């Protein structure tokens, strides 16, 4: 059941309405863009749309999303609007063809829509089509569905409440029966939940009418409770758009000096579909987009032009995926820039990367973790430069955005390390700084005492990790830890033990957390990494669940379960394709192997991890 609409952007026009206050578009008899449906139809009512430019060429919809927006026919109950971002189905984006599956809430009121059109969005910008004539025929057989404003992103928030009741028809049937048998108790339960699944409400409504249980006062009270629950969700949704994270993303999107890139190439389309379609969701699922070691290098830097080619776009495409899979978090896992550039350019390069990452879904929490290249010290040191020619910690913190806690994370002041809680899922994401070294310290020749090939955790960070980050609300919570440089004894690296200062104390802390025991650390063997009096007691908390430790740095995929007694340590490969005198990945460029990153999907109930791979490599599975 479908109808086809055709638009020419830049050529289509209509006259103004006669009365703005009593808004209604007047369609003349020559209008060919019309859709007719009947009340209570749902997503089987499909509309096919063709969009052209003024010169007759198709409007390229690649990378776009399309919303349906409508003002329902006049109704005695009030004015209701529909905003739906879920019905868009791309048929042939380059030819300007798509299908829109209309939501059921669009057909609750019989009559002619006062306004109905499509909004096309891409990279923070939008254009709209002209209105089409949407006419809803009455259905006198089925009645009783109540019209209301329908905003699909808000519905998604409400659906989080509903998912626990969608597991089986039996559970919904039992819920209906309990409502009839124990009205008072069930009424309190419904009020606490706010909004139940739509099918559940239909069944309840029919049962109530059949048994004639509701008085008018009770019906009014029930309606008020539902309205308050929906308003609460609306207020929460609005607060997301008024918050600092959204404002930063908006600023990044509008700053043309920071934002540039290209549309997703056709050779990535299958990979992109893989990480955006069919990704599981729910209160027992945590999805984390993870991109590592993209080593973005601005054009004209000192190695040579094109060292990491499209790595900046790699960040953009990873962020773009969250608009579709609505990942809970996006982690840029270190070596976000290559760092072989003058100090002034380093600042700009960091901001370019962060701006690309900010094109993500507004409710996805985004964090940048420091790698050994991110302040420029690695290459500058090999060239014998002084520490003054690299970024200090404060400059990198500005580039990473650690000073404002945009996503409600908890930091140690404005530290590089943090944790972020997801209470509805009982999961804590912890990000550590494996380059926590005294970079400012120099030897007698004015050279670095430690270059960034040295990793380390200093006393303050380890104490925070042990006594803040790993102290959970209760031991039903689970923890996943991210940092850039892996433990030197993992993955069979044969790295020197001294290359990672205090790593073994971090392992002692994780072991104590897992076992629900105590840990005490005193180590003065190196004055720069001295630890005195670190103690943590997890006995009252009980045995803790460590989901995984996730690292980058090695530029390969790998795994190790031996270091943490069965807990997987997951190594994520580099996103970059390098071309230099040392390494030549030129054959990977402009192919699916050019890029590589993961959507790490954690099932906390089954204690399983599935890594959905974009680009080079393949999916991986782990248990914990």
* Amino acid 257: pLDDT: 42
**Cα 454 from chain centroid (whole Å):** 32
Average pLDDT over residues 482-491: 95
* Amino acid 586: pLDDT: 85
Quote the tokens at residue 382: 């090999």
* Amino acid 94: pLDDT: 94
By the 8 A CB rule, do 420 and 407 touch?
Answer: yes
At residue 475 the predicted structure's pLDDT band, cuts being 50, 70 and 90, is: very high
Determine the Cα–Cα distance for residues 91 and 102; give it in Å rounded to an integer.
16
By the 8 A CB rule, do 342 and 354 touch?
Answer: no
Per residue in 5-17, pLDDT (tens digit) is 999 998 888 877 7
Determine the Cα–Cα distance for residues 141 and 578; give it in Å rounded to an integer.
66
Instruction: Please give the full DSSP string across 172-206, using - where no structure is assigned.
Output: HHHHHHHHHHSHHHHHHHHHHH----HHHHHHHHH
Per residue in 54-64, pLDDT (tens digit) is 999 999 999 99
By the 8 A CB rule, do 329 and 288 touch?
Answer: yes
* Amino acid 608: pLDDT: 98
Beta bridge partners of 345: none
By the 8 A CB rule, do 146 and 108 touch?
Answer: yes
Q: What stretches of 243-329 show up as alpha helix (H) in DSSP? A: 244-254, 269-276, 311-325
The reply to whether 260-490+499-623 shares the fold of 3-148 is no
Among 184-193, 256-265, 313-322, 334-343, top mean pLDDT goes to 313-322
* Amino acid 249: pLDDT: 46
Q: Which tops the pLDDT comparison, 180 or 395?
A: 395
- Angle at CA of residue 548, ends 543 and 554, nearest 5°: 145
Considering only CA atoms, which of 614, 617, 619 is closest in space to residue 264? 614
* Amino acid 78: pLDDT: 79
* Amino acid 165: pLDDT: 45
In the block, tokens 């309990």 appear at 178
At residue 128 the predicted structure's pLDDT band, cuts being 50, 70 and 90, is: very high
Please say if the pLDDT value at position 131 is more than 60.
Answer: yes
Domain borders along the chain are 3-148, 163-208, 260-490+499-623
Lay out the sheet containing 150-151: strands in order across. 125-128, 115-122, 65-71, 81-84, 150-151
Is 0.85 surpassed by the pTM of this model?
no
Cα dihedral value 248, 250, 255, 261, nearest 10? 100
Per residue in 270-320, pLDDT (tens digit) is 999 999 999 999 999 999 999 999 999 875 444 345 788 788 899 999 999
* Amino acid 219: pLDDT: 67
Considering only CA atoms, which of 79, 87, 80, 149 is closest in space to residue 118? 87
The CATH number, out of the four listed (3.30.43.10, 2.60.40.3350, 3.40.50.2300, 3.50.50.60), of the domain defined by the range 3-148: 2.60.40.3350
- Residue 278 zone, left/alpha/beta (φ > 0; ψ -120 to 50; rest): left
* Amino acid 65: pLDDT: 94
Average pLDDT over residues 477-483: 99
By the 8 A CB rule, do 368 and 333 touch?
Answer: no
Of the listed ranges 141-145, 316-320, 363-367, 408-412, the least confidently predicted one is 141-145
CATH 3.90.1150.10 holds for 260-490+499-623: no
**Helix 343-357 to helix 244-254 angle, to the nearest 10 degrees?**
110
Please say if the pLDDT value at position 145 is more than 70.
Answer: no
Of the listed ranges 25-34, 173-182, 313-322, 493-502, the least confidently predicted one is 173-182
Please say if the pLDDT value at position 31 is more than 90.
Answer: no
Please say if the pLDDT value at position 465 is more than 90.
Answer: yes
Q: Which tops the pLDDT comparison, 457 or 19?
A: 457
* Amino acid 207: pLDDT: 54
Of the listed ranges 201-215, 456-470, 505-519, the least confidently predicted one is 201-215
* Amino acid 333: pLDDT: 98
Determine the Cα–Cα distance for residues 564 and 547; give it in Å rounded to an integer.
11
The mean of the pLDDT values for the chain is 83
Please say if the pLDDT value at position 498 is more than 70.
Answer: yes
């Amino acid at each position: 059941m479908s109808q086809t609409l055709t638009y020419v952007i830049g050529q289509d026009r209509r006259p103004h309405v006669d009365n703005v206050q009593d808004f209604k578009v007047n369609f003349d008899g020559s209008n060919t863009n019309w859709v007719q449906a009947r009340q209570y139809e749902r997503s089987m009512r499909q509309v096919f749309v063709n969009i052209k430019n003024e010169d007759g060429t198709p409007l390229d919809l690649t990378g776009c999303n399309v919303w349906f927006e409508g003002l329902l026919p006049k109704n005695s109950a009030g004015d209701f609007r529909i905003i739906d971002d879920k019905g868009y189905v791309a048929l042939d984006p380059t030819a300007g063809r798509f299908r829109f599956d209309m939501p059921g809430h669009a057909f609750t009121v019989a009559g002619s829509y006062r306004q109905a059109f499509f909004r096309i969005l891409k990279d923070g910008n939008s254009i709209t089509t002209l209105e089409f004539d949407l006419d809803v025929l009455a259905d006198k057989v089925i009645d009783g569905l109540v019209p209301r404003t329908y905003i699909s992103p808000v519905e998604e928030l409400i659906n989080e409440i509903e998912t626990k009741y969608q597991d089986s028809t039996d559970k919904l049937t039992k819920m209906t029966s309990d409502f009839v048998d124990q009205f008072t108790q069930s009424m309190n339960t419904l009020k606490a939940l706010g909004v139940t699944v739509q099918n559940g409400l239909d069944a309840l409504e029919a049962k109530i009418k059949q048994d004639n249980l509701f008085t008018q006062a009770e019906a009014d009270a029930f309606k008020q409770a539902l309205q308050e629950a929906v308003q609460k969700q609306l207020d929460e949704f609005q607060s997301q758009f008024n918050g600092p994270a959204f404002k930063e993303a908006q600023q990044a999107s509008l700053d043309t000096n920071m934002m540039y890139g290209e549309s997703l190439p056709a050779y990535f389309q299958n990979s992109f579909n893989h990480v955006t379609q069919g990704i599981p969701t729910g209160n027992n699922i945590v999805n984390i987009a993870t991109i590592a070691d993209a080593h973005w290098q601005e054009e004209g830097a000192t190695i040579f032009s094109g060292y990491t080619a499209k790595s900046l776009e790699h960040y953009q495409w990873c962020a773009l995926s969250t608009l579709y899979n609505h990942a809970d978090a996006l982690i840029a896992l270190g070596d976000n820039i290559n760092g072989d550039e003058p100090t002034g350019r380093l600042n700009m390069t960091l901001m370019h990367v962060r701006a690309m990452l900010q094109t993500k879904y507004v409710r996805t929490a985004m964090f940048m973790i420091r790698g050994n290249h991110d302040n420029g010290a690695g290459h500058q040191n090999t060239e014998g430069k002084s520490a003054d020619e690299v970024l200090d910690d404060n400059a990198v913190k500005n580039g990473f955005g650690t000073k404002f806690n945009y996503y409600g994370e908890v930091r140690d002041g404005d530290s590089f390390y943090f944790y972020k809680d997801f209470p509805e899922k009982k999961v804590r994401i912890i990000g550590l700084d494996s380059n926590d070294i005294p970079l400012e310290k120099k030897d007698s020749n004015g050279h670095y005492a430690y270059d960034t090939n040295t990793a380390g955790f200093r006393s303050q960070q380890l104490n925070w990790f042990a006594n803040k980050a790993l102290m959970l609300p209760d031991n039903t919570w689970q923890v996943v830890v991210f940092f850039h440089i892996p433990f030197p004894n993992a993955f069979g690296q044969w790295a020197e033990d001294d290359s990672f200062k205090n790593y073994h104390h971090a392992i002692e802390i994780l072991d104590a957390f897992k076992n629900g025991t105590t840990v005490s650390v005193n180590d003065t063997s190196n004055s720069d990494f001295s630890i005195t009096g670190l103690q943590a007691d997890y006995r009252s908390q009980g045995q803790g669940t460590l989901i995984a430790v996730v690292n980058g740095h090695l530029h390969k995929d790998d795994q190790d379960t031996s270091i943490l007694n069965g807990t997987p340590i997951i190594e994520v490969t580099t996103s970059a394709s390098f071309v230099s005198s040392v390494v030549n990945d030129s054959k990977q460029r402009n192919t699916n192997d050019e890029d590589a990153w993961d959507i790490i999907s954690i099932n906390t109930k089954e204690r399983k991890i599935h890594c959905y791979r974009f680009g080079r490599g393949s999916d991986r599975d782990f248990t914990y």
